[in-house]
């Protein structure tokens, strides 16, 4: 690929066509095209409307519990003997992850657009739970599409969604993971165009979703910036976040993109290693292609057929990535590196033991990289890890990996 | 540039009847059977062939075409083999128009310029690429038109009068009107509503209008053919193939090509009687 020229600012995208360089765009069936144009129009109005902003702010504060804390992981830092590690505690949000930030914004948008029915796709179930939650709060019916494999490995979240009144449709196509759930959600949307709002959970899909979700998640980075300045009097040296579709990552990255001295690292699911097919490292082992409405790095074969991939973490088990990440990769602003299943599992256990925090397996990938690099850094240096979600949902998977039954 | 599609449509207009456009999935269940199905189509009365290019993630397709794509890919089919199939067909038939239908990614990975050159050489006349709306015309539509390949656009019930000119702008060959919001192979369609929509589009273009999604029987083909310039049948053909396969997804006793020919023969009677009956 041609290396794009580094722009003056990394924070101005996308352009009017929804492109970040060659990535992004609107690759959807004609049936959906009028809908995403309408969504774009309403979003552009809403994001500049003080009343919309005020309502979102109030819900974020009183319902979701924002701002989330920036916590100095003192024991873990001391144990590793290098840089100071801070956790941005998105796991403390209502519903247990960063997903609620996006869902609150989009449900207000759906309400504004007069939509009567919510659909969503989910991998780990965190977005499904957050969608079901806001749908319950605003009295709208909600259908969540979830891969059959994920339904099996994320049972607690499936039950939570049902308790919240959502209908959970298991999708058995493909490997029964997030990619297949997204296909099925798109099929629902193309069928129910009159009344349905598609609440996409990650910063991917056709324009304007990547921008919309990024803007709603950027609250993470804005807060983290303020908090680290207050607590340390300076910006961090490194920011690390896990990347599946990449919404928590773009949320914490975006406000720091123009701070040249802040090194930014996205962590992809290395699964069982990049040599075989059992990983989800689309930016390390894939190439640009078109899927789910956007051009982005994808795991695919030489015929352009999409591969399924693998990750221990359902939330990272997706063969693509949000288009802005693809652009940040090619411009060189952000480094994307893989972390293996085993490394994530070790980080999960170490964080639980040293800090009394059970992190989601997704977030454990980010922590695992901090564990690798912290010892190589000075004690006066600072790493912020986005602890995007809590790990209660993963205890069955982890027990299985450890050979235990619960 | 005049393509086989333009010539065929002009001829049918003279004959005063709508076209029967038949879709099947390339490589389903295997290359040889699929090629025999393709060869059987014009003989059974199909006027235009839509050759399906399998894709792993067909977001606008229902269960029948999803399953067909997976069978095809499992059997080792690819875009290169789909083009080969068209070239093999052309050895015996240089008249019947062939339209490739599918999704963008395999074409993008093959390389747009290389794809257009190879498609043209294989005797392809038109393209229907589901996930390339007019907003993305620079990707493939404009290069295709320059290469002399028709780019056939889908218009849908959500394409209102204000948007229609944008959809029609770079369309050639014919306009494919999607009879309903939904995926391929969905439920029964509303003939009267479709007729109104066809008139609405005709008010803005000289191009022929073919209607698809949900047409399964000769009777439906006849009814739709009363107002449209062509009727597209896809999922019914793909399901006919699927119904004759064994549990292993391979051809069992009966020949799918024969069964498809029987169905297409009936559909052909439907479109041929479309304009004979008095208007309803």
pLDDT digits (tens, 9 = 90+) for B42-89: 999 999 999 999 999 999 999 999 999 999 999 999 999 999 999 999
The residue annotated as part of the active site, out of B6, B61, B118, B229, is: B61
Q: What is the CATH number of domain B4-272?
A: 3.20.20.70
Q: Which of A188, A303, A307, A308 to mutate against chain B (most B CBs within 10 Å)?
A: A303
Yes or no, beta carbons of A173 and B66 under 8 Å apart: yes
Q: Which of B107, B114, B139, B158 to mutate against chain A (most A CBs within 10 Å)?
A: B158
B186 touches chain A (CB under 8 A): yes
Q: What is d(CA A128, CA A157) in angstroms, rounded to the nearest whole number?
A: 8
Q: Dump the DSSP string for A194-237.
A: TTEEE---SS-SSTTHHHHHHHHHTHHHHHHHHHHHHHHSS--S
Chain B residues in contact with A33 (beta carbon < 8 A): 133-135, 158-159, 163
The predicted pLDDT at position A173 comes to 81
Yes or no, beta carbons of A304 and B132 under 8 Å apart: no
Q: What is d(CA A325, CA A208) in angstroms, rounded to the nearest whole number?
A: 15
Comparing alpha-carbon positions, the chain B residue that sits nearest to A307 is B56
Q: Is B197 helix (H, G, I), strand (E, B) or coil?
A: helix
In a domain? residue A389: yes
Q: What is d(CA A78, CA A83) in angstroms, rounded to the nearest whole number?
A: 9
Tokens for B188?
A: 């029964």
Judged against a pLDDT cut of 90, whether residue B190 lies above it is answered with no
Catalytic residues of A: 99, 121, 388
| A86, A103: one domain | no
Q: Can you name the residues that pair with B211 across neighbouring β-strands?
A: B177, B231
Nearest to A305 among B73, B80, B159 (CB): B73
Yes or no, beta carbons of A291 and B57 under 8 Å apart: yes
Q: What is d(CA B130, CA B134) in angstroms, rounded to the nearest whole number?
A: 11
Confidence of residue B213 (pLDDT cuts 50, 70, 90): confident
Q: What is d(CA B118, CA B112) in angstroms, rounded to the nearest whole number?
A: 10
Q: What is d(CA A396, CA A156) in angstroms, rounded to the nearest whole number?
A: 9
Confidence of residue B140 (pLDDT cuts 50, 70, 90): very high
Yes or no, beta carbons of B181 and A183 under 8 Å apart: no
| A86, A104: one domain | no
Outline where DSSP puts E strands in B152-253. Answer: 154-155, 175-178, 209-212, 230-233
The predicted pLDDT at position A3 comes to 62
Yes or no, beta carbons of B130 and A29 under 8 Å apart: yes
Q: Is A8 helix (H, G, I), strand (E, B) or coil?
A: coil
Return the higher-pLDDT residue of A376 and B62: A376
Q: What is d(CA A291, CA A202) in angstroms, rounded to the nearest whole number?
A: 14
Q: Which of A312, A348, A255, A315 is nearest to A130 (CA)?
A: A315
Q: Which of A300, A365, A291, A287 is nearest to A326 (CA)?
A: A287
Judged against a pLDDT cut of 50, whether residue A275 lies above it is answered with yes
A 10 A CB-CB count for A205 gives 30
| Helix axes of A209-217 and A219-232: crossing angle, nearest 10 degrees | 30
Confidence of residue A155 (pLDDT cuts 50, 70, 90): confident
Q: Can you name the residues that pair with A117 across neighbouring β-strands?
A: A196
Tokens for B101?
A: 């239908």
Distance in Å from the first CA to the final CA of chain B: 37
In a domain? residue A39: no
In a domain? residue A147: yes
Q: What is d(CA B143, CA B180) in angstroms, rounded to the nearest whole number?
A: 29
Average pLDDT over residues B109-117: 98
Yes or no, beta carbons of B66 and A25 under 8 Å apart: no
| A203, A223: one domain | no
In a domain? residue A40: no
Confidence of residue A396 (pLDDT cuts 50, 70, 90): confident
| A91, A104: one domain | no
Q: Is the dihedral of CA A131, A136, A137, A140 positive or negative?
A: positive
A190-194, A219-223, B39-43: segment of lowest average pLDDT: A190-194
Confidence of residue B279 (pLDDT cuts 50, 70, 90): very low
Whose tokens are 């990547």? That residue is A210
**Exposed, middle or buried: residue B276 (CB in 10 Å: 0-12, 13-18, 19+)?**
exposed
Residue A304 belongs to domain spanning: 65-97+218-401
Look at residues A182, A213, A244 and tell me which one is the last residue of a structural domain. A213
Please report which residue ranges of A234-322 form alpha helices under DSSP H: 247-253, 282-285
Look at residues A188, A213, A238 and tell me which one is the last residue of a structural domain. A213
Q: In the A/B pair of chains, how many CB contacts fall below 8 A?
A: 116
In a domain? residue A26: no
Judged against a pLDDT cut of 80, whether residue B19 lies above it is answered with yes
Average pLDDT over residues A25-48: 97
Look at residues A186, A213, A240 and tell me which one is the last residue of a structural domain. A213
Judged against a pLDDT cut of 80, whether residue A370 lies above it is answered with yes
Q: How far is CA B199 from CA A29, A117, B195, B228, in A?
A: 22, 32, 6, 9
Q: Which ipTM score applies to this complex?
A: 0.95
A188 Cβ neighbours under 8 A, 6+ residues apart: A119, A143, A145, A196, A198
Chain B residues in contact with A193 (beta carbon < 8 A): 158, 181
Yes or no, beta carbons of B105 and A291 under 8 Å apart: yes
Q: Which of B157, B181, B201 to mutate against chain A (most A CBs within 10 Å)?
A: B181
Share of chain A above pLDDT 70, in %: 99
Chain B residues in contact with A282 (beta carbon < 8 A): none
Judged against a pLDDT cut of 50, whether residue B280 lies above it is answered with no
A80-89, A294-303, A390-399, B132-141: segment of lowest average pLDDT: A390-399
The predicted pLDDT at position A342 comes to 96
Average pLDDT over residues A351-366: 98
Q: Dump the DSSP string for A102-123.
A: HHHHHHHHHHHTT--EEEEEES
Yes or no, beta carbons of B181 and A192 under 8 Å apart: yes
Yes or no, beta carbons of B130 and A17 under 8 Å apart: no
Rg, Å, chain B Cα set = 17
| A199, A231: one domain | no
Q: What is d(CA A130, CA A109) in angstroms, rounded to the nearest whole number?
A: 15
Judged against a pLDDT cut of 70, whether residue A1 lies above it is answered with no
Q: What is d(CA A215, CA A201) in angstroms, rounded to the nearest whole number?
A: 13
| A82, A147: one domain | no
Q: Give the total number of structural domains in chain A.
A: 2
Rg, Å, chain A Cα set = 19
B135 Cβ neighbours under 8 A, 6+ residues apart: A17, A25, A26, A33
The predicted pLDDT at position B249 comes to 87
Q: Can you name the residues that pair with A298 across neighbouring β-strands?
A: A287
| A74, A201: one domain | no
B109 touches chain A (CB under 8 A): yes
Share of chain B above pLDDT 70, in %: 98
In a domain? residue A22: no
Nearest to A29 among B54, B107, B154 (CB): B154
8-state DSSP, A348: H
Q: Is B170 helix (H, G, I), strand (E, B) or coil?
A: coil
CA B23 to the chain's CA centroid: 5
Cβ pair A366, A385 in contact under 8 A: yes
The predicted pLDDT at position B185 comes to 80
Chain B residues in contact with A287 (beta carbon < 8 A): 109
| A73, A184: one domain | no
Judged against a pLDDT cut of 50, whether residue B272 lies above it is answered with yes
Q: Which of A401, A256, A399, A276 is nearest to A333 (CA)?
A: A256
The predicted pLDDT at position B89 comes to 98
Cβ pair A337, A267 in contact under 8 A: yes
The residue annotated as part of the active site, out of B6, B50, B118, B125, is: B50
The predicted pLDDT at position B158 comes to 93
The predicted pLDDT at position A401 comes to 86
Tokens for A106?
A: 């989009």
Confidence of residue A4 (pLDDT cuts 50, 70, 90): low
| A89, A237: one domain | yes
In a domain? residue A53: no
The predicted pLDDT at position B71 comes to 95
Yes or no, beta carbons of A29 and B133 under 8 Å apart: yes
The predicted pLDDT at position B181 comes to 87
Beta strands A117-122 and A84-89: pairing type? unpaired
Q: What is d(CA B92, CA B113) in angstroms, rounded to the nearest whole number?
A: 27
Q: Which of B26, B58, B59 to mutate against chain A (most A CBs within 10 Å)?
A: B59
Tokens for B257?
A: 């090509």
Chain A residues in contact with B160 (beta carbon < 8 A): 34
């Amino acid at each position: 690929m041609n290396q794009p020229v580094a722009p003056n600012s990394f924070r101005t995208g996308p352009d009017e066509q929804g492109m970040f360089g060659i990535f992004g765009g609107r690759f959807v069936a004609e049936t959906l095209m009028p809908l995403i144009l309408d969504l774009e129009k309403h979003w552009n109005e809403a994001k500049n409307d003080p009343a919309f902003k005020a309502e979102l702010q109030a819900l974020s504060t009183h319902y979701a519990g924002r701002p989330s804390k920036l916590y100095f992981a003192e024991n873990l830092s001391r144990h590793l003997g290098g840089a100071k590690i801070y956790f941005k505690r998105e796991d403390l949000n209502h519903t247990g992850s960063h997903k609620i930030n996006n869902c609150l914004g989009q449900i207000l948008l759906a309400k504004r657009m007069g939509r009567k029915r919510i659909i969503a796709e989910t991998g780990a179930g965190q977005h499904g739970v957050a969608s079901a939650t806001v749908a319950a709060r605003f009295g709208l019916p909600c259908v969540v599409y979830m891969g059959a494999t994920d339904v099996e490995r994320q049972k607690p979240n499936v039950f939570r969604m049902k308790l919240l009144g959502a209908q959970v449709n298991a999708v058995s196509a493909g490997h029964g993971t997030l990619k297949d759930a997204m296909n099925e959600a798109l099929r629902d949307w193309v069928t129910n165009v009159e009344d349905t709002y598609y609440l996409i959970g990650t910063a991917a899909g056709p324009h304007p979703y990547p921008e919309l979700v990024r803007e709603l998640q950027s609250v993470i980075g804005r807060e983290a910036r303020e908090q680290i300045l207050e607590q340390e009097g300076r910006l961090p040296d490194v920011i690390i976040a896990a990347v599946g579709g990449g919404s928590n990552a773009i949320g914490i990255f975006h406000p720091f993109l123009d701070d040249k001295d802040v090194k930014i690292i996205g962590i992809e699911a290395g699964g069982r290693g990049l040599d075989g097919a059992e990983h989800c490292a689309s930016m390390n082992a894939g190439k640009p292609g078109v899927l789910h409405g956007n051009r982005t790095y994808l795991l695919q074969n030489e015929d352009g057929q999409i591969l399924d991939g693998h990750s221990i973490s359902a939330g990272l088990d997706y063969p693509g990535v949000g288009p802005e990440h693809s652009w940040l990769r090619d411009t060189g602003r952000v480094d994307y590196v893989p972390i293996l299943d085993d490394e994530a599992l070790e980080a999960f256990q170490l964080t639980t033991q040293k800090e009394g925090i059970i992190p989601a397996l997704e977030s454990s990938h980010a922590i695992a990289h901090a564990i690798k690099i912290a010892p190589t850094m000075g004690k006066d240096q600072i790493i912020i890890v986005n602890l995007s979600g809590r790990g209660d949902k993963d205890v069955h998977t982890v027990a299985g990996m450890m050979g235990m039954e619960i | 540039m005049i393509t086989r599609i333009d010539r065929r449509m002009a001829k049918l207009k003279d004959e005063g009847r709508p076209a029967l456009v038949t879709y099947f999935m390339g490589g389903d269940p295997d290359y040889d059977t699929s090629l025999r199905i393709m060869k059987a189509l014009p003989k059974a009365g199909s006027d235009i062939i839509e050759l399906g290019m399998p894709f792993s993630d067909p977001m606008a397709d229902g269960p029948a075409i999803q399953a067909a794509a997976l069978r095809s890919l499992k059997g080792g089919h690819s875009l290169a083999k789909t083009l080969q199939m068209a070239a093999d067909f052309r050895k015996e038939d240089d008249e019947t128009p062939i339209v490739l239908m599918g999704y963008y990614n395999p074409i993008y990975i093959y390389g747009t310029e290389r794809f257009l050159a190879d498609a043209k050489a294989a005797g392809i006349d038109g393209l229907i690429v589901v996930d390339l709306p007019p907003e993305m015309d620079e990707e493939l539509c404009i290069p295709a038109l320059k290469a002399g390949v028709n780019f056939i656009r889908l218009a849908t019930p959500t394409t209102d009068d204000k948007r229609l000119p944008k959809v029609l702008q770079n369309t050639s060959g014919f306009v494919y009107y999607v009879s309903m919001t939904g995926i391929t192979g969905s439920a029964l369609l509303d003939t009267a509503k479709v007729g109104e929509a066809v008139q609405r589009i005709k008010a803005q273009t000289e191009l022929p209008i073919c209607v698809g999604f949900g047409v399964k029987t000769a009777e439906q083909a006849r009814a739709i053919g009363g107002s449209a310039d062509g009727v597209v049948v896809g999922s019914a053909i793909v399901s006919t193939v699927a119904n004759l396969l064994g549990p292993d997804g391979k051809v069992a006793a009966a020949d799918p090509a024969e069964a498809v020919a029987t169905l297409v023969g009936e559909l052909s009677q439907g479109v041929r009687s479309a304009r004979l009956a008095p208007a309803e």
